[in-house]
Chains A and B, each alone.
Chain A
């Protein structure tokens, strides 16, 4: 009972404090380049657009709405959220959302307001989901649950992107987490509803769609397609369709509207990748210049094939065995496969596999911490551009230290605990000291981070450090993709497995 009150409250408080400290940083010009207007201005602009213009003009290029200047490229829920924020902004100070004249507006009061919207969205959507997950869907003592809450909320990637860079990932990830919660607690319709809302907030959530689909379909199959299973399937399908309709209602009047929105959401004119991102194509590009060798269409088909191939084993396994444990693993495997092999992947998309890995912090602490640290590290070039090196260094160190300390990650790294027992029968695993390798990896990441900020790259290779960062992260992601796939698929199919579904 002690842990519930004091430590839970303190943990929530501390993470709020960390977030506010991160977002209140003045931009520090380590890289010597001026900070771009960036996502902050984009969000402010969307408030301006949605507040001032009628709905049918939001996604179109008009005289009032120049799509080249941070055009809206997220689904309708983001637009509605911007509308709400725009209304609140105009109540406080109409100058903030004045059409045309408010472009590039910056003041410390406005900064406070914008950061406050992120915090409020976070506190309403993401934090309660995390707390409920830790207390109802994870195992262990109360102390462990509170430690889990703290560690998940301290994940640096999300904090730095949402509060440092400026985004609302906490809403989409929070909704996805509510989806997982719903499914985990057996409320399938609510879970589906939440997930559909998540997809309608950011289309990137489609990375998670395959596991949701396979889990629900598998559950329907298990309940028998003749009776209850079919009924469940129908209920879920109706929920999904109704939710989609409600979200897209203002746009359904005109098919041209729908097409334009889809066109904004999925720009297929671009190439396989842009900038340096820690996925296969970018890393492959170092050795073979695939961007120039293959045509855009071939690239599209290649990436589609590779993604499906990578995500298939996990999805099939989930279809045959729809439990929460499998579901969590499938979420990781699927989104990681999408990240590594998909088209036009942005480095921020690593947050999508990161969320389910956070959920695995309680069960597989060492691999989870390793992945989460690598994911934060992979976004280093982005943080450097935003002048966020100090918050990055501090939050990463804090996260690694506290996760390893509070969750005893290094003590729970035996073969049994890494769920690799079934593999041992097939393949003889070498005896490695995972702890030492983990420390070496973290030290390498720290070293590369410091070099990126302290040293200037050689003149012949100006992109040396971002490239090293992305290749290093890619290798980690590939290795961990293999590991998580092995854990998921090697699990024996008997239904008598301990199911971490409900605790007292």
Chain B
């Protein structure tokens, strides 16, 4: 049978094609406002000259990604005009003809080819124990399945609508290149990625420190610390020039036109609230709830009087004040994030563990930004889950952390799809992914990966879902406190995410890991 030889990679196109077919079936599903966002950007880049791209504000969805992404949309718009010219008119707000939907969906499916290639490269770099094993239990097969069929990507990209597959593909490709030892390519890919979506700035420290420490300093002392004399200027300059030239290519035209401040103001809007409309399960969700609880308690016990009403369930662009605990400003979150990244990054500096240590640091940085960042969207959890998959198929402990993080993170994406028609899809898909990840990783590492408490917590997710979707609507409080379900889900998930975060952090700080070769 063609599929039985584990040495041939014929199963890979079968897996990739299968998930692509599934994506095609989702073409006509519900899509969110992000669909209109991208249509608007297609229109802006196609119809207006470059000098107006970052000034245009007919629509509320202004261009807030770096210039390379704008050029990407510009390229797409040339294909779009063959589908439906009307979608490229800036004034056609909310335009969603069948041809438009078809084009946009197909563009996401088509650009996913970058992701598929990146997954293939990651699979080729995965280490495995020797010994004849069945194809289904090989680490690279499991990794391919976990990445290609990742629930979060499918839901966010192909239903909710975004280009995360393309972007995460570049990220994973960069990681794969580092795992393969091709560092200049990895750095180049990351520079490109930064200029496509600046949210990846959060993981730039991991790259910076790793490349500086392990690539620019070519030799270590016998005790593992850095040998300052071995700094290779050639490598440093090569890296610097790559990054600078990519940024110049991307921002150059705008610097020449003197639009840099405008571009930066679009890229970093800090007027939005601490939490997104659907709370991401991070520290601030817990913070908000504690604040609310304290204020309610304080009023009940008559300890506090005349507190300002905390409006934390408002829309997405409002600022809000906390009642009891101090209010949090954007700079405070930035400081928190930087402080949380510091120990991980320092640990990599002091004790570099090669490319895998870098990958671990990358995941930690992504998680830190998720936990402490300003206006974090739950989609950002994907930035941590996807690279963690690579670690999960190589180490037993990482597999356990991955199962917790992935299940909780994926469940927190549920509120993104609230329509009745998407309900069977999202439930079946998450069950498929979760059951597969549990059983395959269990078979790979031959044993249970989670203890009883963790399993109970994860089963509790089912209970939370049933209570929120079935029981709560039947209760009379639904009218007065409609956001309780979102709150409950968010808080419950943030427990799981925080737990995984702490475990992952401890794994990076543990000094007992042997320094592995680059």
Contacts and interface: CB of A to CB of B under 8 A. Distances in A.
A270 B420 CA distance: 42
B137 interface: yes
Contacts of A112: 420-421, 423-424
A394 B24 contact: yes
A5 B442 CA distance: 12
B2 A17 contact: no
B225 interface: no
Interface in B2-51: 2-4, 10, 14, 17-18, 21-22, 24-29
Interface in A342-393: 390-391, 393
Nearest to A398: B21
Nearest to A9: B435
A395 B17 CA distance: 12
B424 A2 contact: no
Given A3-B136, A28-B28, A13 B431 contact: yes
A24 B421 contact: yes
A22 B26 CA distance: 9
B234 to A, nearest CB: 49
B429 interface: yes
Given A18-B22, A398-B18, A24 B425 contact: yes
A97 B443 CA distance: 49
A324 B2 CA distance: 28
B474 interface: no
Nearest to A387: B28
B422 interface: yes
Contacts of B419: 108
Interface residues of A, number: 40
Contacts of A274: none
Given A3-B136, A25-B28, A108-B421, A17 B435 contact: no
| Interface core residue of A16, A112, A395, A398 (most chain B CB under 10 Å) | A398
A21 B22 contact: yes
B428 A26 contact: no
Interface in B85-135: 98, 134
Q: How large is the interface on B (under 10, 10 to 19, 20 to 34, 35 or more residues)?
A: 35 or more
B286 to A, nearest CB: 34
B432 interface: yes
B62 to A, nearest CB: 30
Interface string B434-465: 01100110010000000000000000000000
Contacts of B21: 394-395, 397-398
A60 interface: no
Contacts of B27: 390
B136 A17 contact: no
B428 A16 contact: yes
Given A9-B439, A21-B25, A390-B27, A408 B1 contact: yes
Nearest to A401: B17
B25 A2 contact: no
A108 B420 contact: yes
Interface string B216-255: 0000000000000000000000000000000000000000
| Interface core residue of A2, A144, A390, A406 (most chain B CB under 10 Å) | A2
B1 A391 contact: no
Contacts of B443: 2, 6
A61 interface: no
A17 B158 CA distance: 15
Contacts of B428: 13, 16-17, 20
Contacts of A20: 424-425, 428
B18 A402 contact: yes
A20 to B, nearest CB: 4
A292 to B, nearest CB: 41
Contacts of A3: 136
Given A13-B428, A13-B431, A405 B14 contact: yes
Contact of A143 (B4, B420, B425, B432): B4
A93 interface: no
A115 to B, nearest CB: 8
B22 A6 contact: no
A411 interface: yes
A482 interface: no
A112 B425 CA distance: 12
The main secondary structure of chain A at its interface with chain B is helix
| Interface core residue of B24, B137, B424, B439 (most chain A CB under 10 Å) | B424
Contacts of B422: 24
A21 B136 contact: no
A63 to B, nearest CB: 36
A88 interface: no
A124 interface: no
B242 to A, nearest CB: 40
B1 A143 contact: yes
Contact of A402 (B14, B136, B425): B14
Contacts of B17: 398, 401
A443 to B, nearest CB: 17
Contacts of B423: 112
Nearest to B421: A24
A66 interface: no
A6 B440 contact: yes
Contacts of B28: 25-26, 28, 390
B451 to A, nearest CB: 22
Given A25-B28, A391-B25, A402-B18, A408 B432 contact: no
Contacts of B435: 9-10, 13
| Interface core residue of A2, A10, A24, A398 (most chain B CB under 10 Å) | A24
A106 to B, nearest CB: 13
B25 A10 contact: no
A10 B2 contact: no
Contacts of B29: 24
| Interface core residue of A13, A144, A411 (most chain B CB under 10 Å) | A13
Interface in A169-218: none
A14 B432 contact: yes
A429 interface: no
A14 B28 CA distance: 19
A282 B103 CA distance: 39
Nearest to B17: A401
B99 to A, nearest CB: 11
Contacts of B22: 17-18, 21
Contacts of B1: 143-144, 406, 408
A109 interface: yes
Contacts of B98: 28
Nearest to B29: A24
| Interface core residue of A7, A18, A390, A394 (most chain B CB under 10 Å) | A394
Contacts of A143: 1, 3-4
Nearest to A20: B424
Given A25-B28, A391-B25, A7 B425 contact: no
A35 to B, nearest CB: 14
Interface in B384-436: 419-425, 428-429, 431-432, 435-436
Nearest to A30: B98
A155 B499 CA distance: 44
Nearest to A14: B432
A411 B18 CA distance: 22
Nearest to B422: A24
A402 to B, nearest CB: 7
Contacts of A408: 1-2
A20 B428 CA distance: 9
A8 to B, nearest CB: 11
Nearest to A6: B439
Contacts of B4: 143
Nearest to A404: B2
Contacts of A402: 14, 18
Contacts of B26: 21
9 contacts: A9-B435, A17-B429, A20-B428, A21-B26, A108-B420, A390-B27, A395-B21, A398-B17, A405-B10
- Per CB-CB distance, the 5 closest pairs between chain A and chain B, nearest first, are A20-B424, A21-B25, A398-B21, A13-B432, A394-B24
Given A2-B134, A109-B420, 6 more contacts: A2-B137, A6-B440, A20-B428, A26-B28, A143-B4, A406-B1
